[in-house]
Chain A
Amino acid sequence: MKAPNGSLEAAKGTLLMYGSSRYLKGAVAGAGALFLSYSYYVRTTIPSGSTAWGLVYGWMGLGAILVLMFLGIRKRWYFSRLGTLQGWTSAHVYLGLLTLLIIPMHAGFQFGWDVHTLAYVLLVVVVLSGIAGLFLYLTVPGVLTTHESGMLPDKLEAEIDQVLKEMKQLAAAEPLVFQHLYEEEARRYRELTSRGWRILFTRIDPSAILAQRMHELRNQLVDSLVADQEGFSRFAGLVLRRTELEAYLAAQMRLKNGLQAWLYVHVPFSIAMMAAVSVHLLVVLYY
C-alpha cells in the first residue's frame, strides 16, 4: 500500500511501513525464526545463557542493542549515507521489540533478583518508553495540527505579545488602576518560571482557566466605579484574550513536550542498561 504523499498518514506510514514494510516483515520473520530455533533448543538442552544456543542469543541481543544505540549517533550524523534516517528509525522500532524476545531466550526465560535481570528490566523500561514515544509520534502531531486555536506556538507567542502591547497602550491612557492591572499581568509573565514539566502532568482546560480568570476580573469589576467599568471591560477583554491564548499555548506545548518527555526515560535508561550489561558481561566472563 502506497501512503499518500505529503499527509500525516504518509509520515506515519514511513515510520512503521518504511520501504514497503521491509522492517516489519523482517521483524516478523525474525520472531518466527527465533521461536522455531528456541523450540528446538529447549527440547535438546536446559536453556541458559551459558549453552551454545544461549550464547548465540546473547551475542545477538548485544548486537541488536548496539545497532539500536547507534540510532542516537546516526540521527546526529547529517552527512551519513548509511541508509535514510527514516529507515533507521523504522528498523529501530522493530529491532527494539525483538530484543524483548531475544534476551529472555538468552536467559532461558529465567529471572531473579540479580544484576542480570536488572539489565533486562532496564531494557524493558527502555522498550516500553520507546513504545510510548512511538504512540505519541503517531498521535500527537495529528492533534497539534487540528488544535482549536489554529495557531502554532510561535504565532501564539507573537499574538500574546501583541495583546500585552494593546493592554499597555490601554493602560497608559487609563487611570492608575489600569496600569496596576497591566503591571499585574506583566508580572505574571516576568515571574513565570519554567513549567514545561509541570504542564505535562496537569490537565489543561482552556475554558476552565478562562472561567477562573473571569471570576477574578468580575470581583475587581464589582469593586470598581461605574464610570471605570467601560474601560475595565475593554481591559478585561484583553486580559481574557491573553489568558485564552496562553491556555492554548500551554495545551499545545504540553503535547509538544510529551513528544520530548519520553526520551528522558528512553535515552538515560538505555545508557544505564548498557552499564548493567557491562556488569553482566564482567560477571559471566569472570566465572
Chain B
Amino acid sequence: MSLLRRRDVLRGAGATGLLALAGCSRGGGGVRQADLGGGTELSILNWELYIDPDEGPTEGTITRAERERGLRVRYDESYEDNIAAWETLIAPTLGAGDTLPYDIITPTFWVAARMVERGWAEQVPLEIVPNHVNIDPAYLTQPWDRGARFHMPWQAGITGIAYDPSLTGRPITSIADLFDPAFRGRVGIIGEMRETVPFGMLLNGEDPSRPTEATALAGLELFEQARASGQIAQVTFGEFADALASGELWLAMAWSGDTVILQTERPDIEFVIPEEGAVRWFDTMVIPRGAANVRAAGEWMDFVYDPANAARITAWVQYISPVIGVREELQRLGGDAAELARNPILFPDDETKRRLFTWGGLPVEAEAALDARFAVL
C-alpha cells in the first residue's frame, strides 16, 4: 500500500534539507518595512506534499496563483521538522537580525508563536488580504496572536486515536484505552511532544491549552511508564498508518489527515476523538521579519483563502481547512470532493470541536526540557 502522507517524516529525519538551504542574507535588522515591496517574486517554504500539484490538464494551486495573481512562485518543500527548523534556520537567522530567503514559511503553530512573540514576523498585510475574513474563528483566539494579525493558518489536523475494531474487539472511546493491558504491545503513540503530552494531560483531567510544567510532566510520565512496561510498542509519525493497516498495531494515536487517506483503502479503520478530548494542531503561514516581498505574500495568502481555491487544496491534502466556506465549495465540486464534505474528521461538528485542545505552550527552556525527555521515549 502506498499512502501519500504529508506529515510523514521527515519530521524525525533531521535538518538536512534546512541545512542545505540557500544562504541567508543580511537584511532588515529588525526594522519594520516601510513599504510592502512591489515585486511579484514569491518564495515559499512549506512541508512536503502539502499542496495540490499540476495533474495533467488540471492546474494546481501554484500555477493558478501565478496566472491569476501575476506571481512568480518559488515553492520549496524542504520544511521537514519544527525543532530542526527552529534551531538551525529560524532562531539563528532572525535572532541575528538577518533575513530568511523566504517570503512565507509554514511552521506548526508553536514555532509561529515563538516568532510572533520575538517580533520575528511581519504583520499580515490586511489591505491586500480581504479574504482574511475567511479565517475560521477557532484560529483567532490564540493567546499569542489574537485576531491572527501575524499568521494565517495553512492546514489543521486532529490527533486522535485510530484503531482496527476487528483486532481490539471493542470500540475505543477513551485515552485510557491506550493503557489497557489487553492491548499491551499493540499500541502506538505519536512522536511529537506537543501532541502526546496533551493526551496524558487530558487523561489527568488537565487542560493542555493552559499547561504548567507540573501538569505537562505528569502527562509525560504516564507515557514514560507505559513505554517502559511495554504497553506502548511504537513511537511513530506517519508510519502509524502502515502499522495499523498491517495489524502490527491495533490502536494508535493518529493524525486525522493520514487516517482519512488510510480509510480510502481500509474503511474499517476507525478514527475517534476520545471522550476526554483530543489535540488540534495547525501549520500556519508566517511572513518572516524583513521578507522582501510582503505584497506578493499577501496576494498568495488572499488567493489560498478564497474558499474555492482552499477547497481544491483540501480535496488533495485531506486535512482540515481553516477557511470558512470550504465545505460548501467541496459540495459544489461534487464527486469525491463532495464525499469529503461529509467526512466528520475533516469537518467535525460543534460538539466535537468543543473537545479539541491546542497545546498552550510553556517557556522555551521548559519546553526544551520536555522535548529532551520525550525524545528518550
Q: Do A and B bind each other?
A: no
